Amino acid sequence: MLSSSGRLRNMRMDAVHGSTPLDPSGLPDPGRPRFCGRCANPMGEVNLADRPRPVCPSCGWTYYAKNAVGAAATVVRAGCLLLVQRAHAPYQGDWMLPAGFVEYGEDGADTVVRELAEECSLVVKVTGSPLIYFGRDDPRNPSYLLVYPAVLSEPSAMPVAGDDAMACGWFPPEEIPANIAFEGQRRAIADWRVRQTT
Ligand SMILES: [Zn+2]
């Protein structure tokens, strides 16, 4: 089972990467600015710390590609974990914790509250500090994922899928779907399952 789902995942990654140029590192190409973000002069390239870096020959502004940051929540009711099914690529149709990218200047805990409202029409409260996972299999960007524990503000509220989610559901540890999107999500959910049985 594991090897066949791994092959399937790799095939899907190949399909996605087919049209996405790769960085020399083998990760999705983060892009390189042709013009300086500060003074608009054409950028040059300099080897810094063994990597070619876009550098402005006029003002010295250097472009460093960034890992993305996402935030997700583990919301549990009656021992079941809330998951959403992705409505769009990448990994369309796969399941994951409700999650989204952290906006510039946004606290990840606020991202979680916003995403739960957008994807599941649920109001939640974050109850603790996040666990942090890193993944390289998002074809848009390598990403850190902050995974916060959260609780429903109204315990009997029903999730309603919206925005980027085509479905929401509650899953006991032994019925977590096999098709979980993203490396960080897979590891976060696997760790949650272990915590339920120890
Ligand atoms: Zn410049």
What are the tens digits of pLDDT across the range 47-85?
887 788 899 999 999 998 889 999 999 999 999 999 999
CA 35 to ligand 1 centroid distance, Å: 8
Q: Residue 12 and residue 29: Cα distance in Å, rounded?
A: 18
Percentages of the chain per state (helix, strand, coil), in multiples of 5: 25, 30, 45
Q: How far apart are the first and last CA of the chain?
A: 24
pLDDT digits (tens, 9 = 90+) for 138-175: 988 899 999 999 999 998 888 889 878 899 999 999 99
Burial (0-12, 13-18, 19+ Cβ within 10 Å), 27: middle
Q: Which pLDDT belongs to residue 163?
A: 79
CA 51 to ligand 1 centroid distance, Å: 20
Q: Which pLDDT belongs to residue 2?
A: 35
pLDDT band at 30 (very low <50, low <70, confident <90, very high): confident
- Residue written as token pair 């099914």: 85
One-letter identity of residue 119: E
CA 50 to ligand 1 centroid distance, Å: 22
CA 142 to ligand 1 centroid distance, Å: 27
What number is the average pLDDT over the span 121-129?
97
What residue ranges do the domains of the chain occupy?
33-64, 68-197
Q: Which pLDDT belongs to residue 195?
A: 93
What number is the average pLDDT over the span 25-44?
87
Q: 155 or 17, which is more confident?
A: 155
Task: Give me the chain's average pLDDT, please.
Answer: 87
Q: Output the six-digit token pair for 103.
A: 């906006």
CA 54 to ligand 1 centroid distance, Å: 11
CA angle, corner 115, sides to 114 and 121, nearest 5?
90
Q: Residue 62 and residue 60: Cα distance in Å, rounded?
A: 6
Q: Residue 27 and residue 23: Cα distance in Å, rounded?
A: 5
Q: Which pLDDT belongs to residue 20?
A: 55
CA 146 to ligand 1 centroid distance, Å: 34
Q: How many CB atoms lie within 10 A of CB 50?
A: 5
CA 52 to ligand 1 centroid distance, Å: 17
Just give the CATH number of 68-197.
3.90.79.10
Say if pTM beats, i.e. exceeds, 0.85. no
Q: Which pLDDT belongs to residue 150?
A: 98
CA 44 to ligand 1 centroid distance, Å: 10
Q: Residue 116 and residue 74: Cα distance in Å, rounded?
A: 11
CA 53 to ligand 1 centroid distance, Å: 14
